[in-house]
Structure 1
Amino acid sequence: MDAFSTPDVPERADSSPAAPSPDESALLADGALPRRDFLRFAGSAGALLAAGCAPPVAFPAAPARGVSDAKTTTGGGQHVVVIGAGAWGGWTAYHLRKRGVRVTLIDQYGPGNSRSTSGDETRGIRSSYGDRATGELWTPWARSAIARWKLFEKEWAPEFRTSFFHETGDVIMRATREPFITRTIELWKANNVTHEVLSGDEARKRWPVIKADDITVAITEPDAGVVRCRAATQAVASAAQKMGAKLVLGRVRPGPIVNGKMDGVVLDDGTVIRGDSYVFACGPWLRKLFPYMENRARIPIGHALYFGVPMGDTRFQFPNLPSFNFPGVTGWPMLPVDSRGFRVRGAIAPTVAAGAPTPPPQPAASNDPALQDPDLSPRWTNQDRVDGARRFLAARFPILANAPLLETRACHYESSVNQNFIVDHVPDTMNAWIAGLGQAEGFKFGPVIGEYIAQRVTGNDGDAKLQKAFALPTEQYDRPPG
């Protein structure tokens, strides 16, 4: 047990709590949390782990461009409060602990909850960013992330007696060799990424269950994969706790800024938790916490649908089919362990046959203010999205055209005008950070971005190009959200 690990706290026969351990006293002494709340909120997810603790993942084996590993930066006795235990917050806590930093991790609903951006069941892990202005930066980071997810699987999956990362491979199919295809291949070659370029005939021969009569080119990333998102988010938070981080459940607001420093964060019950630094990795809640972000971020809702595969037919299950990308639609086969189903995301617009008239535009969605609030927004997937997914299945996976819909998932994601991540100081502070705006791609980068955030918070600004790329955007959207 390291210096920051917290043992199970025994209860006396009269149900009064035992005296604080030395480790608890370190947290309680600075007025961070009353002991009764500490006992109520601290680290239940850590109990998911087996008694033995896996060693920290050897991420130096998968270095990320512009990011230093823990050996080059130490915590120096710091206490960092991380707000948000999703993909970015959990990985930040994990990497801060590797640097010897004392960590309090706070989440209002808990890691992997259904309101969070990390609350879906699965996420694709690939590096095909030829359609992004940020592709030159993101591609090598995504490659490091793929390697790190595999290392996390190797080190931690046995501890949880499950699996997280599945190497499905990924295929992108197009009717023409469009710029996305060309640029992705260029980025892959520049980063020595193993890939294939297939003709339409080759693609049809390899995956006969896919109806691809119009496809002339397909590109593959054989070692891409899919992660069980909710399970992995909870596992990372649990691993961070096993390494000594303290998990607190509660809603916070930023404390006052005094002489350029934030002075604590305040729970709803008035409890103040103080640290040397604060990281707000709150996803769509950043707009609620910081007015500065109101017109610099958008939080649309993405929907994923999971369909049942035919009984006894393994063609639509891992490892017999890769994840796939068609214009406007992504998805992947059913994964083992929990078998949520065959996943489809996108596919709202009706398919228009060649030469057919374009259908009239549909009326705009209602300007419901609740849709801009991640606490209040409904995650209901409407019939239009179900119908769109079924049209896609009929067009590309006709055997699944009438497959039963097993479940739907929806989450807010974050985007900005500059289409890049944010890792920068809260305005007017030297010790508080905003980390977010994953641009609907942030989950896969968790193992890398978490280390980068930890590096910055512990005093190493690192690569100037990254620092500039991840600065708070000065641009704003033309009009407020709604």
Structure 2
Amino acid sequence: MGSAGRARLRIAARAGIFARSQAHDRMSDQNDSSTLSPAELQRRDFLRLAGLGAGALISGVGVSELGAQRPATPSSGGAIRRSTRVVVIGAGVWGTSTALELARRGASVTLVDQYGPGNSRSTSGDETRGIRSSYGDRAGATGELWTRWAREAITRWKAFDAEHGPRFGTRFFYETGDIILRERAEPFTTRTAELWTQLGVKFDRLTPDDVRRRWPMFAADRYSEILYEPDAGVARARASVHALVALARDAGVDFRLSRATPGAIVGGKMQDLRLDDGSTLGADAFVFACGPWLRKVFSELLENRMRLPLGHVCYFGTPIGDTRYFAPNIPSWNVPGVTGWGALPVDARGFRVRGAFAAPRPQPASGADAAPPPPPAAPDPRLQDPDLSPRWSNEDRIEGSRRVLQQVFPALADMPLLETRSCHYESSSNRNFIVDRLPGADNAWVTGAGQAEGFKFAPLLGEFGAKRVLGESTDATLNEAFAFPTQDFGGTGRGDDDE
């Protein structure tokens, strides 16, 4: 499709009537494999996914059922800059949410991604993410900030599901409640309860008997400290990203499938991006929402200020006909070092376990000294590269996840393993998000470092990031909290491959 055709689509989208019309389909069909290069064919397929085709993939409905679109309405707050051209690099949940908010505020937005939205390498991949507000483990003011934001995020995810679920013919959020189980009170649970009380968050303190009556599938007798947040829940990750892509397309966002490299910075301004086809892409502002790729893109700045652990997830089968292990019949749960939740009826991947219990140490024979632990294996450098890291879970992790089931959900202990998943997350040296200008470039922004918690905050971070880029008023406290990190990690700054 030529530039004139893309311009017509953008005009239609901003009028609120964008759809894959018959005329558009005829235009696309004319560009068959005899006239398009492999790169152009790849881009055409990506545009189809990024357009209303994404909605069709999520919902299983036809394009004609998605044809009537509401016009995108700019936010009533702050300045509307219709002439601002912004390029967002990264079509994960943060990048796509930011692109959508920028377009709603009148900016002309291009969204670039090298692998496509919700791909298996991305932090926004996998099927589900927990949405809860228990952040008593966050130091200082961060715990209160994240708790407040998470509470608002729960409200917004419910609103997103109510508004867009019927359109796409699916669900994006399940209210399950979230239960924290500890053998005794600890700083995390004590501070979480203090923050909830301070902020007026409804929660319950439960006993093992309470848990047994409400959810008899838990083996909760060992736990004396139990907190329950009743309106927490689980969001569908990949499906939500695809829906956001479709909404962004409706709002006029243009998509490019390409690997992007920052151009030169001259006079404090980034000049352009270099794309992998050799072309350049200019704009008034650039937003890098690259997830774990941020450290590759800006290695001199982030090499020792960002770590990239891999989180591993196992999905186990549930007993035949037993719906107790499906949402919303069981809450999401948190035991030391491990989280999880029930299968979602909309896709039924299985019972999710993230993290593992270590194997018990072998006991020495009577009178013998314990053998020293074996030296750790040399780190695999691929585990720090999101392009090259293998996304598989070894038997130790799988068996460690099964030990969790044996202890907490004994009826699932022998159920089959259905899938494993893994993704990088980004941990910054200041343990907070980054939404700030790139040092040395007034027109380039970085939004990332989700700390393994970022997905749930996307509705707020997309709005906050868009306001910052467009020069709208934002809370100075948040600006400071999400500033580009200046301190380094100790050593090399490289994390291991565990949660």
TM-score normalised to structure 2 length: 0.86
Is 1:293 aligned with 2:302? yes
Partner residue in 2 for 1:346: 355
Partner residue in 2 for 1:107: 113
Q: Secondary structure at the match of 2:457?
A: helix
Change in Cα spacing, 1:142 to 1:351, as seen in structure 2 (3 Å) is farther
What is the alpha-carbon distance in structure 1 between the residues aligned to residue 395 and residue 153 of structure 2?
35
Amino acid at match of 1:73: A
Contact persistence 2:19–2:67 (CA under 8 A): no
What is the alpha-carbon distance in structure 1 between the residues aligned to residue 487 and residue 78 of structure 2?
34
What is the alpha-carbon distance in structure 1 between the residues aligned to residue 134 and residue 371 of structure 2?
32
Is 1:254 aligned with 2:270? no
Partner residue in 2 for 1:337: 346
What is the alpha-carbon distance in structure 2 between the residues aligned to residue 94 and residue 14 of structure 1?
28
Q: 1:394 aligns with which of 406, 412, 416?
A: 406
Is 1:316 aligned with 2:325? yes
What is the alpha-carbon distance in structure 2 between the residues aligned to residue 353 and residue 45 of structure 1?
53
Contact persistence 1:333–1:342 (CA under 8 A): yes
Please give the residue correspondences for 1:465-480 in structure 2 after superposition, counting only pairs within 5 Å. Answer: 465-480=477-492
What is the alpha-carbon distance in structure 2 between the residues aligned to residue 463 and residue 13 of structure 1?
45
Partner residue in 2 for 1:98: 104
Deviation at 1:72, TM superposition (A): 2.4
Change in Cα spacing, 1:79 to 1:316, as seen in structure 2 (3 Å) is same
What is the alpha-carbon distance in structure 2 between the residues aligned to residue 336 and residue 251 of structure 1?
36
1:301-340 CA distances to partner (integer Å, 9 max, x unpaired)?
A: 0001100001101111112110000001100011011100
What is the alpha-carbon distance in structure 2 between the residues aligned to residue 334 and residue 124 of structure 1?
12
Is 1:45 aligned with 2:50? yes
Change in Cα spacing, 1:395 to 1:54, as seen in structure 2 (3 Å) is farther
Amino acid at match of 1:318: A
Please give the residue correspondences for 1:67-216 in structure 2 after superposition, counting only pairs within 5 Å. Answer: 70-133=76-139, 134-216=142-224
Contact persistence 1:346–1:389 (CA under 8 A): yes
Partner residue in 2 for 1:408: 420
Structure 1 residue ranges without an equivalent (≥5) = 18-33, 59-68
Please give the residue correspondences for 1:435-446 in structure 2 after superposition, counting only pairs within 5 Å. Answer: 435-446=447-458
Q: Secondary structure at the match of 1:302?
A: strand
Amino acid at match of 1:369: P
What is the alpha-carbon distance in structure 1 between the residues aligned to residue 28 and residue 119 of structure 2?
34
Amino acid at match of 1:99: R
Change in Cα spacing, 1:230 to 1:270, as seen in structure 2 (3 Å) is same
Change in Cα spacing, 1:40 to 1:202, as seen in structure 2 (3 Å) is closer
What is the alpha-carbon distance in structure 2 between the residues aligned to residue 16 and residue 328 of structure 1?
52
1:332-377 CA distances to partner (integer Å, 9 max, x unpaired)?
A: 01101110000001114125799x9999645424321111110000
What is the alpha-carbon distance in structure 1 between the residues aligned to residue 385 and residue 334 of structure 2?
30
Partner residue in 1 for 2:30: 15
Deviation at 1:203, TM superposition (A): 2.2
Contact persistence 2:15–2:71 (CA under 8 A): no
Change in Cα spacing, 1:387 to 1:37, as seen in structure 2 (3 Å) is closer
Is 1:372 aligned with 2:381? no
Deviation at 1:53, TM superposition (A): 2.0
Q: Secondary structure at the match of 2:379?
A: coil
1:389-423 CA distances to partner (integer Å, 9 max, x unpaired)?
A: 11110011000000100001000000012100001
Amino acid at match of 1:128: S
1:215-243 CA distances to partner (integer Å, 9 max, x unpaired)?
A: 11211111100011111111111111111
Q: Secondary structure at the match of 1:386?
A: helix
What is the alpha-carbon distance in structure 2 between the residues aligned to residue 77 and residue 417 of structure 1?
36
Partner residue in 2 for 1:27: none
Contact persistence 1:174–1:216 (CA under 8 A): yes
What is the alpha-carbon distance in structure 2 between the residues aligned to residue 237 and residue 243 of structure 1?
10
- Larger displacement relative to structure 2 (299-308 or 240-249): 240-249
Amino acid at match of 1:125: I
Contact persistence 1:307–1:404 (CA under 8 A): yes
Is 1:3 aligned with 2:8? no
Amino acid at match of 1:44: L
Q: Secondary structure at the match of 1:212?
A: coil
- Larger displacement relative to structure 2 (232-241 or 345-354): 345-354
Partner residue in 1 for 2:63: none
1:139-163 CA distances to partner (integer Å, 9 max, x unpaired)?
A: 0100111111111111111121111
Amino acid at match of 1:310: P
**Relative to total residues, which structure has the larger helix share, 1 or 2?**
2
1:271-319 CA distances to partner (integer Å, 9 max, x unpaired)?
A: 1111110000001000111121111100010001100001101111112
- Alignment length (residue pairs): 455
Amino acid at match of 2:136: G
What is the alpha-carbon distance in structure 2 between the residues aligned to residue 353 and residue 123 of structure 1?
35
Partner residue in 2 for 1:453: 465
Q: Secondary structure at the match of 1:72?
A: coil
Change in Cα spacing, 1:362 to 1:416, as seen in structure 2 (3 Å) is farther
Contact persistence 2:435–2:447 (CA under 8 A): yes
Contact persistence 1:414–1:437 (CA under 8 A): yes
Amino acid at match of 1:350: A
Change in Cα spacing, 1:229 to 1:178, as seen in structure 2 (3 Å) is same
1:419-468 CA distances to partner (integer Å, 9 max, x unpaired)?
A: 00001111111100011000000001000101000010010251111111
Contact persistence 1:54–1:156 (CA under 8 A): no
Partner residue in 2 for 1:28: none
Contact persistence 2:177–2:332 (CA under 8 A): yes
What is the alpha-carbon distance in structure 2 between the residues aligned to residue 339 and residue 358 of structure 1?
45
Is 1:432 aligned with 2:444? yes
Contact persistence 1:461–1:467 (CA under 8 A): no
Amino acid at match of 2:121: R
Q: Secondary structure at the match of 2:125?
A: coil
Amino acid at match of 1:52: A
Q: Secondary structure at the match of 1:275?
A: coil
